[in-house]
Structure 1
Amino acid sequence: MAGHEPPDEFLPELSLKALLEIDIAGAAVRDLGLGQAIKTANAFELTGMQLPLSVEVINNSTMRARGLKSVTEAAEHLVGVISGESPAEPSSFSMRGFIRDSVIILRDGIRLGPASMTMRPHNTFNLQQVEIIKGPSSLHFAPPTASGVINMITKKPVIGQESATEVFAAYSRFDTSEWGVGRSGPVGEKFAYRFDINRATSNGWVEDTDSHSLNITAAFRWQYSPSLDFMLSFDYLDDDLPAYWGTPLVPASFSQAPISGIIKTDNGSVLDQQLRFTNYNIGDQRSDSEHLWSKVIASWQPSSMVKVKNTLFHFSADRAWKNAESYVFNPQTRLIDRDRFFVFHDHEFYGNQLDINVEHLLGEFEHKLSVGLDYARTDFERARGFPDGDSVDPYHPVAGLFGPLEKRLSPTKIDEFAIMVENALFLNDNWHVSLGLRKDFIDTTRDNLDENGDFIAVDSFKRTFKPTSYRLASSYQLTDNMSVYGQFSIGHDPVGSNIYLVNANENFDFTDINQYELGIKAVAADGKVEITSAVYKTKRENILLLVTHDTVGNSGSQVAKGIEFAASARLTENSRVGGNFAYTRAKYEDYMDPDFGVDASGNTPPNVPKWGANAWFSINNIAGLQVELGGGVRYIGKRHTNFENTVTLKDYFVVNAFAAYTVDNIRLSVNARNILDEEYAPWGDIFYPSQIGIAPPRSVELSFQARF
């Protein structure tokens, strides 16, 4: 939010020599960032210790040291986050008892729309860090949702930094390869540039599930004067996702080799080892996309008391799915019944964000005020259809082809205007209170057309939503090394969490969310130990409910309570340990799911484990050599895959390990993922209850990193 962004927001402003001397050895156990100025949801550039929020950061060094190549992998190593990579909803997340579109996904602080419709897997090479804000605490990006915010922050140029190049390459099992090249440097005294390109390909661990992605980020910064700078940036993504939509459940009596330890079902269905690596998709399947972000950012600091930042942005995307997605065992024919579904997105999104920060004395107290004005326009055209499916042999499926495309169009136009006001009053050097308010005006026009392109008036509509969100919070620094905080926040989720899919016969409004949270943050006097902990209660009310066969309305509620804890410690100069755990108690109090008509009252929401934990260690400079060894273990408790809670994914442990050797500015690494070859399912897709996506087996990766 600053007029001239602090250098440590993206990359340190260092000489070339100092930059090249940065070593990621020991970074596998991340610092908790309590002394760092967090970018997300932080208008006043407070440190993690000062923020009255639950905030987490995982930076590029830690992601590279652990071999975390995707945002999904990086987020899963933070407190209480689980995710799935279903091609239907790439990079879906679950946090604090809420799932899917209750998690806001940002790219450099801008939200595209519901994550289930717009999210794609993203690499970490092009990123400086990933930040997470828990709960409905962030007012700046959209009406705050129940789970929180995940913000991917790309690498940016820094004025005054000497030229440097980064190179990365990796190869692992299933012919999986990835490479990246980054270059940054000055152009004269007032200009700087940054360019990063990442390419990844894989044959996949299931047959015929090739995938690839190409991500190019580029930015050019102009320091017009000491108080004014401009940045032009581009972010391009082209990808094709794996065609694996899951392994079908079959009766135990039919299975040739039942897999134990992954699932438990009320009807006795099992997963068959003979089907685990079989692909049931069609031969001409599609799950691809092409995205392009363009942004112009102007930052102006007319005085030491006033900072202004304006972001003008444009986004366009084409996405396509054409698949046999659902695989259901038919007990009469003993075949797998497959559906057909296609959907194409033509998505354009543009707008402007204006932020004004003022710091002054209010009487004898330091007062900080932030005012934000946002406008965004969405043009989203969705073409889809449901051709007839077919049936295939479970053990010898014939891929076949999709068939004819008969499209139905559903154009959606959304105009969003929002005003945000945040105040922070510093009552003394140790205590501050803050109040934030956000008011949204969201005009939605949804048209539905039939197969002939004719307008269907009864299914089309116009609505205006005016949700109001706010947050009251306070932080008190008990000592230089310990602070406590508390907050109460009000937020809103869109209907069904996805405003792109609602129809005219749905009598709906945004759901209401409230959260109470208390937390503590501490650093040992010598700085070797960091600890954070939080307790919270979040309630979501007026959830969409099925009222009649084809009509929905607002009613019902969902409650989540939990405890979160994270710690990081430097045991010796060359050894570190760290870990976290989350306990979540979530349930529907009164809820009738509108998609399936299931009464879920009293049940646990899908993909919400009661327990989740991570632990990591690293030891470097072993025997006086530039050798580092490290590893980690991840535990996720049992989860349900559906609203009835009739299919349960069992708990699992995953162990990873790495070894690295550094010489000069080159690092050679071996990363072993799922080293114990654990068979488990990380996620259950609620729309495909008859199949389960099984995690990949053990793999070993060789990687090379260099800076020069």
Structure 2
Amino acid sequence: MSSIRIARPRRFLLASAALTSLVTIDMPAALAQQLREPLPAVEVSAPQSRKQVKQAGRDAASARRAAARRAVVAPAASKPVVPNAAAPTPLNTNAVAESASRLGLTVRQTPATVEVISAETIREQGYRTVSDVAQGSVGVIAGDNPSEPSAFSMRGFTNSQINTLYNGIKIGPQNMTSRIMDTANLEAVEILKGPASLISGEGAAGGAINLVTKQPHTGPIRNEADFSWDSLNSFRTYYGSGGSTNVQGLDYRFDVSRSSLNGFADDTNTKTLDVSGQLNYRISDSLKVWGAIEYREDRSKAYWGAPLVPVAFSGSHATSGIVSGSYFNRTDLGAITIDDRTFSTNYNVLDNRNVAQEVWLRGGFELKLAPDLTLKSQAYAYGAERSWFNNEIEAFDSANNQVYRERFYVAHSQRLVGNITDLVWDANIAGFDNRMVTTLSSSYLDFVRPGAANFPNDLVSLVDPVRGFYGDLATRQQTARIDNEALSFEDRLKLTRTFSLIGGLRVEHIGLDRNSTDVNGLVNAGFPFTKDGAPVTGRIGYTWEAAPGLTFFSQYATGADVSANNIFLLSPTQPLDLTTARTYETGVKHVLWDNRAEWSFSAYDILRKNVYAAAGGQTLNIAGRQESKGLELAGSIRPIEPLKLWGNIAYVDARYADYDFAGGSFSGNTPPNVPRVVANAGASWRFFTPWPVEVGITGRHVGDRHNTDANTVTMNAYTVGDVYAFVDIPRMVFDTVDQARLTFRVRNFTDKRYAIWGDPFYPDQILLGAPRTYEISVAFKW
């Protein structure tokens, strides 16, 4: 593997900061004259239905304990300049997804499968966390294992094989840096399926999920506030405000949310706080500068799952339909079950804690250099402090019929700075409209990871365990310094009014400097060391609008990620193998019936080689290949004004191949947390009474999954549903409020008991889904 260095990041960051300061503070007179010219509009050519779609004005504005939290960084994505977006459609394919392309394309113009879940959908469906949003998406499942919360699975890939982005910026692999996040401050969640390294960098073998915070708009100030409470005594509060100020050209956005979500297990709770704000200042028609700041905090008393227990031991307390199969790790459990006496049992120690504090600073500018040339630059800084102090293992020991527990501690101190600069060129090449974006990005990560050097353990009873305390703690330290530079090109060439070629190429350099010390502070053998990698990834595809509103697409795309599980934990003897996944995908997107109906279909084939995977315990094996083939279908329709119907279904056949190791083979087995079938459906009816009332129901089916590569334990398929009703209260009741909505919701109304997630590195326990809960909420806009 060759090593490509584009620029040393600190020099690049200093240069980019100087550029930003020069443009925003000391504009030359000659350039100021040029700034009076307007910015060129970004073409968003939404398909035309039989009636021309109206353009709505967009608001302008031991092995695994270690593997629980680990880090690698990719650069940020600049937000595209899109002055106007087309009118909403049932599947929201007129939205622009910055995580899918830098070209400012709508979902329907992008040769890939992309979902954009808007804030309105999030509110209507009652999605409280990012994991809830993912659960309602096509073919995506999620789990909030405390070691790696907001974990996702889609198209046969899980955890760090899916990039999680924050406003287009990657801070590290999902299974190390993601946290439980409330949705209140989000404008949208974007989900890009399949290898996606062109936009989001290393780690996106399975796709990317981008969390977009609410943005300022130009116009009258609008305010909103929400409050909710549920039968577990959880509550959420939120306030947001945005609009134009008295200063010409200055728009703002401010949001603050607070939540306290109680778990169904004893003494479990997650508290979150999110404060975010942004200012946009249009100095002239050709120059806009902006700045944003965000503070996030979460504190949890964690639930780590219910232990697998022998059917023979549980007797009449054995359950069916949650898990099945047999299990051997510490001891041979034989046929296993979840004991109904453990549904709400918390085996964590009394002094447990999961805590994270995060701060974001972002700022940049958009500048027109010429009528067809635009420069955009964004600088960012991110800091995080995280810690885990828990009993993380709870394994039933059949030798003495007790639960073996083991403690674990780890902390992160993370600092990240970076810059991403785009040059957007609109041109006409031989009579064909063409847009090219050249992107240069760089980041520098400093990561300090104090961790446990000893792991206190004990045995407790299965029922009513004495929880006790953590005990003595000895620590050791690991560090990582990661340089990341990337140069990428993306282009869209319109060969005809309806047919476009879209492609791109990304050359990325990753430089790793690592050190590790023992409990006495002495450097371990082989440390410190330095390694480099240089993945080259890209995409080529087309879109063809065969008829108004009917778009066919195909693509070939590649993505790179670290084969040895995590770049931060590479040992001196491991190669820095940045393997490449590839996908072939084809599909169709269709909006019809004057925007009252929409459907999409895609078929894909993904191959990833040289895979390291968890072998059903605290070890890693080399799985030669991971193959994934599948189909996805989604649709939504409003046949008459009061009625809305929607649904989606995904089928995936994901398997390992050439996965052989001493003592056996997992070839042909399915990766953990990958169901063959995931389906969602919903319906609602609106009564147009003086106080309009809407009632709705949603359902979700998730097929069988396994918790390890061994595939000996099955988390059984489940189907759950929610029901809700809301009433829109007219303005005459609250004279100063434009909109008020009162909502009542029942989650999991059948009170289904089911397994929602299994961690392959903690295979002795299974996370259970929440039982039936009742929720009431009220929302205001004025």
TM range (shorter): over 0.9
Q: Which residue of 2 aligns with 1:394?
A: 462
Q: Which residue of 2 aligns with 1:174?
A: 232
Mapping of residues 35-434 of structure 1, within 5 Å: 35-137=94-196, 139-143=198-202, 145-158=204-217, 160-187=218-245, 188-255=247-314, 256-266=316-326, 267-385=334-452, 386-434=454-502
Q: Which residue of 1 aligns with 2:516?
A: 448
Q: Distance in 2 between matches of 1:311 and 1:235?
A: 16
Q: Which residue of 1 aligns with 2:33?
A: none
Q: Distance in 2 between matches of 1:419 and 1:149?
A: 19
Q: Which residue of 2 aligns with 1:20?
A: none
The one-letter code matched in structure 2 to 1:337 is Y
Residue 515 (structure 1) aligned with residue 515 (structure 2): no
Q: Which residue of 2 aligns with 1:678?
A: 752
Q: Which residue of 2 aligns with 1:648?
A: 714
The Cα shift of 1:466 comes to 0.6
Q: Which residue of 1 aligns with 2:780?
A: 706
The one-letter code matched in structure 2 to 1:450 is D
The Cα shift of 1:459 comes to 4.7
Contact 1:641 1:649 in 2 (8 A): yes
Per-residue CA shift, 1:278-311, capped at 9, x if unaligned? 1100011111110011101211123331122111
Contact 2:562 2:576 in 1 (8 A): no
Contact 1:143 1:469 in 2 (8 A): no
Q: What SS class does the counterpart of residue 64 from structure 1 fall into?
A: helix
Match of 1:616 among 682, 698, 711: 682
Per-residue CA shift, 1:499-524, capped at 9, x if unaligned? 11111122341122111000111112
Contact 2:95 2:116 in 1 (8 A): no
Q: Distance in 2 between matches of 1:455 and 1:10?
A: 61
TM-score, structure 1 as length reference:
0.94
Contact 2:621 2:661 in 1 (8 A): no
The one-letter code matched in structure 1 to 2:237 is W
Q: Distance in 1 between matches of 2:202 and 2:466?
A: 47
Q: Which residue of 1 aligns with 2:609?
A: 541
Q: Which residue of 1 aligns with 2:64?
A: none
Contact 2:622 2:659 in 1 (8 A): no
The Cα shift of 1:40 comes to 2.2
Q: Distance in 1 between matches of 2:505 and 2:664?
A: 36
Match of 1:496 among 557, 564, 574: 564
The one-letter code matched in structure 1 to 2:223 is T
The Cα shift of 1:130 comes to 0.6
Per-residue CA shift, 1:665-685, capped at 9, x if unaligned? 110000110011111111111
Change over 3 Å in CA distance of 1:416–1:428 after alignment to 2: same
Task: Using the aligned pairs only, state the percent identity.
Answer: 33
The Cα shift of 1:378 comes to 0.8
Q: Distance in 2 between matches of 1:439 and 1:144?
A: 14
Change over 3 Å in CA distance of 1:592–1:338 after alignment to 2: farther
The Cα shift of 1:423 comes to 1.6
Q: What SS class does the counterpart of residue 607 from structure 1 fall into?
A: coil
The one-letter code matched in structure 2 to 1:282 is V
The Cα shift of 1:5 comes to 9.4
Q: What SS class does the counterpart of residue 638 from structure 2 fall into?
A: strand
Per-residue CA shift, 1:553-589, capped at 9, x if unaligned? 9760010000001101011112110110000000001
Match of 2:529 among 445, 454, 461: 461
The one-letter code matched in structure 2 to 1:99 is T
Mapping of residues 24-35 of structure 1, within 5 Å: 31-35=90-94
Change over 3 Å in CA distance of 1:68–1:5 after alignment to 2: farther
Residue 629 (structure 1) aligned with residue 705 (structure 2): no
The one-letter code matched in structure 2 to 1:289 is A
Per-residue CA shift, 1:471-522, capped at 9, x if unaligned? 1111111011111111111221113342111111223411221110001111
Q: Distance in 2 between matches of 1:506 and 1:168?
A: 50
The Cα shift of 1:192 comes to 1.4
The Cα shift of 1:264 comes to 0.5
Q: Which residue of 1 aligns with 2:743?
A: 669
Contact 1:679 1:694 in 2 (8 A): yes
Change over 3 Å in CA distance of 1:98–1:379 after alignment to 2: same
The Cα shift of 1:695 comes to 0.7
How many pairs are equivalent? 691
Per-residue CA shift, 1:588-611, capped at 9, x if unaligned? 0122589xx973211000100000
Q: What SS class does the counterpart of residue 200 from structure 2 fall into?
A: coil
Q: Distance in 1 between matches of 2:42 and 2:459?
A: 59
Contact 2:165 2:171 in 1 (8 A): yes
Per-residue CA shift, 1:199-247, capped at 9, x if unaligned? 1113321111122110111111111111111111112111112410001
Contact 2:197 2:559 in 1 (8 A): no
Contact 1:604 1:643 in 2 (8 A): yes
Change over 3 Å in CA distance of 1:643–1:183 after alignment to 2: same
Change over 3 Å in CA distance of 1:512–1:7 after alignment to 2: closer
Task: Out of 74-83 and 40-49, give the one that drifted further.
Answer: 40-49
Q: Distance in 2 between matches of 1:211 and 1:474?
A: 45
Q: Distance in 2 between matches of 1:423 and 1:191?
A: 32
Contact 1:286 1:322 in 2 (8 A): yes
Match of 1:505 among 573, 577, 593: 573
Q: Distance in 1 between matches of 2:399 and 2:476?
A: 33
Contact 1:508 1:552 in 2 (8 A): no
Q: What SS class does the counterpart of residue 73 from structure 1 fall into?
A: helix
Q: Distance in 1 between matches of 2:403 and 2:619?
A: 32
Per-residue CA shift, 1:26-57, capped at 9, x if unaligned? x9x98212233333222222222221111111
Change over 3 Å in CA distance of 1:482–1:690 after alignment to 2: same
Per-residue CA shift, 1:453-476, capped at 9, x if unaligned? 111242542100011001111111
Contact 1:257 1:272 in 2 (8 A): yes
Q: Distance in 2 between matches of 1:242 and 1:552?
A: 29
Q: Distance in 2 between matches of 1:552 and 1:647?
A: 19
Q: Distance in 2 between matches of 1:47 and 1:203?
A: 38
Contact 1:505 1:550 in 2 (8 A): no
Q: What SS class does the counterpart of residue 325 from structure 1 fall into?
A: strand
Q: Distance in 1 between matches of 2:759 and 2:56?
A: 35
Contact 1:419 1:438 in 2 (8 A): yes
Task: Out of 537-546 and 176-185, give the one that drifted further.
Answer: 537-546
Q: Which residue of 1 aligns with 2:66?
A: none
Change over 3 Å in CA distance of 1:550–1:389 after alignment to 2: closer
The Cα shift of 1:413 comes to 0.6
Contact 1:537 1:560 in 2 (8 A): yes
Q: Which residue of 2 aligns with 1:18?
A: none
Contact 1:114 1:497 in 2 (8 A): no
Q: Distance in 2 between matches of 1:30 and 1:64?
A: 17
Task: Out of 138-147 and 379-388, give the one that drifted further.
Answer: 138-147
Change over 3 Å in CA distance of 1:553–1:607 after alignment to 2: closer
Q: Distance in 2 between matches of 1:251 and 1:550?
A: 21
Q: Which residue of 2 aligns with 1:22?
A: none
Q: Distance in 1 between matches of 2:56 and 2:303?
A: 36
TM-score, structure 2 as length reference:
0.85
Q: What SS class does the counterpart of residue 758 from structure 2 fall into?
A: coil
Change over 3 Å in CA distance of 1:333–1:609 after alignment to 2: same
